[in-house]
Amino acid sequence: MFNLDSITRTNIKKLTPYSSARDEFSGEAKVFLDANENSLGSPLIKWYNRYPDPHQHLIKQKLSAIKGIASEHIFLGNGSDECIDLLFRCFCEPGKDNVIICPPTYGMYEVSANINDVEVRKATLLEDFQLDLVHLENLVNEHTKLIWLCSPNNPTGNSLNRADIETVLNNFNGIVVVDEAYINFAKQKSLVQELEEYPNLVVLQTLSKAWGLAGLRLGMAFASTAIIELMNKVKPPYNIGQATQELVLQALEEVGQVNDMIKILVDMRGALAGVFESMPTVEKVYPSDANFILVKIKDARKVYEFLLTKGIVLRDRSNVKLCEDCLRITVGTEQENTVLVDAMQDWFALQTK
Ligand SMILES: Cc1ncc(COP(=O)(O)O)c(C=O)c1O
């Protein structure tokens, strides 16, 4: 049986969190002289001299309505990258505990583990980029605190089988983190509605992809209230800046516009995949549920370098296990995609000379 208390780090359980000025007084007042801010203002037209809401109530209210999840189940981080780091710090004893990742996958799980001195065990995906459940189960021991699943997965682009994710959730007594950074581009449903069913589930999402707000840095974790409370205890007091909070609130009014962008990006993903499939040395275009495609192509590194000379930057994944000879291509604007396809024609022309 999953028992949150038994897998939480002792120092975090005992921790008295920082109590900010805004925690100690959050009502209306005439004069705020409690936070050592600069009362004269900011050297900007709009002032940012006051600390922001440490708990981002307005954003959570809005997200709660959009996602159909109560605010108490939402944690906001400075990008999902902050949520990733906080999960290590809440649950993993440095030098003692371990986590399982399923490569090829998003690189920050391993980097965050290394920063926190936490052992990383790798259950490499199968050839079809699905979970190797047998290997995964064999890696679990009494010190395994987190299993990281990324669906749709970066850099492979596919969604993990829902039944496999549920098998992991049902059989692991630690936390299962499902990173859904690319979920808006997928046919699969998010797991956020399953929090009641799985007390050990943490779902990560971000405004950096479909919402087009990577520069603002806003990541979301959805989990049981108990897990959210732990993350709140450990986070820096004012982790989401005032400007980000204001702009995110504005953006969250525009769900329709975001849905339109998602539709366009998904259509262009299909078109781009089709064009690459018909190219001479392309061995495979992997099916994608994300806003990028993974393409296996002869001489991937050379193609990458050639495109660089044309001012086009792709992500070279050719030295990543299972992604040998693969380039990851983010879907661009129609014009950017055309520039890329034209440059590829130049590359093929050079090969036949
Ligand atoms: C799977 C995955 N998770 C998380 C992130 C980071 O998201 P954020 O910008 O919210 O830190 C990325 C960014 O590329 C990603 O691919």
d(Cα 28, Cα 238) in Å, to the nearest integer? 19
Regarding the beta carbon of 208 and ligand 1, being less than 6 Å apart is answered yes
State how far the alpha carbon of 312 is from the alpha carbons of 37, 156, 245, in Å. Answer: 45, 21, 33
pLDDT value of position 225: 98
| Crossing angle between the packed helical segments 334-352 and 255-277, to the nearest 10 degrees | 10
pLDDT value of position 22: 87
pLDDT value of position 247: 98
H-run or E-run covering 201: strand 201-206
The DSSP code sequence of 219-270 is: EEEE--HHHHHHHHHHS-TT-S-HHHHHHHHHHTT-HHHHHHHHHHHHHHHH
Sequence-distant (6+) residues with CB within 8 A of 81 are 108, 112, 219
Nearest atom (ligand 1) to Cα of 77? 10
Question: 256-352: which CATH number, 3.30.2290.10, 3.90.1150.10, 1.10.260.40, 3.20.20.10?
Answer: 3.90.1150.10
State how far the alpha carbon of 93 is from the alpha carbons of 5, 78, 109, in Å. Answer: 14, 23, 16
Nearest atom (ligand 1) to Cα of 153? 1
Q: Are residues 292 and 298 in contact, defined by beta-carbon separation less than 8 angstroms? A: no
Per residue in 247-277, pLDDT (tens digit) is 999 999 999 999 999 999 999 999 999 999 9
List residues bridging with 144 in a β-sheet: 98
Q: What residue ranges do the domains of the chain occupy?
A: 4-16+53-253, 256-352
The yes/no answer on whether domain 4-16+53-253 falls in CATH 3.40.640.10 is: yes
Regarding the beta carbon of 289 and ligand 1, being less than 6 Å apart is answered no
Of 210, 201, 198, nearest to 179 (Cα)?
201
Q: Are residues 80 and 219 in contact, defined by beta-carbon separation less than 8 angstroms? A: yes
Q: Are residues 290 and 328 in contact, defined by beta-carbon separation less than 8 angstroms? A: no
Q: Are residues 290 and 157 in contact, defined by beta-carbon separation less than 8 angstroms? A: yes
Residue nearest to atom 12 of ligand 1 (CA): 181
Of 285, 276, 280, nearest to 349 (Cα)?
280
Regarding the beta carbon of 106 and ligand 1, being less than 6 Å apart is answered yes
One pLDDT digit (tens) per residue for the chain, 353 residues: 899 999 999 999 999 999 999 889 888 899 999 999 999 999 999 999 999 999 999 999 999 999 999 999 999 999 999 999 999 999 999 999 999 999 999 999 999 999 999 999 999 999 999 999 999 999 999 999 999 999 999 999 999 999 999 999 999 999 999 999 999 999 999 999 999 999 999 999 999 999 999 999 999 999 999 999 999 999 999 999 999 999 999 999 999 999 999 999 999 999 999 999 999 999 999 999 999 999 999 999 999 999 999 999 999 999 999 999 999 999 999 999 999 999 999 999 999 87
The residue type at 212: G
Regarding the beta carbon of 102 and ligand 1, being less than 6 Å apart is answered no
Phi then psi dihedrals of residue 127, to 5 deg: -55, -35
pLDDT value of position 79: 98
Mutate to test the pocket of ligand 1, among 209, 217, 292, 320 (most ligand atoms within 8 A of CB): 209
The residue type at 185: F
Regarding the beta carbon of 115 and ligand 1, being less than 6 Å apart is answered no
pLDDT value of position 25: 87
Per residue in 127-166, pLDDT (tens digit) is 999 999 999 999 999 999 999 999 999 999 999 999 999 9
d(Cα 123, Cα 237) in Å, to the nearest integer? 35
Regarding the beta carbon of 181 and ligand 1, being less than 6 Å apart is answered yes
Regarding the beta carbon of 224 and ligand 1, being less than 6 Å apart is answered no
Q: Prior bond to 104 cis, omega within 30?
A: yes
Q: Are residues 77 and 222 in contact, defined by beta-carbon separation less than 8 angstroms? A: no
Regarding the beta carbon of 154 and ligand 1, being less than 6 Å apart is answered yes
Centroid of ligand 1 to alpha carbon of 152 (angstroms): 11
The H-assigned helical ranges of the chain are 4-7, 10-14, 21-24, 57-67, 80-91, 108-115, 133-139, 162-171, 225-234, 242-251, 255-277, 300-309, 334-352
Residue nearest to atom 7 of ligand 1 (CA): 80
Radius of gyration of the chain from Cα atoms? 22
pLDDT value of position 353: 73
pLDDT value of position 135: 98
pLDDT value of position 271: 98
Of 180, 345, 333, nearest to 269 (Cα)?
333
Centroid of ligand 1 to alpha carbon of 274 (angstroms): 26
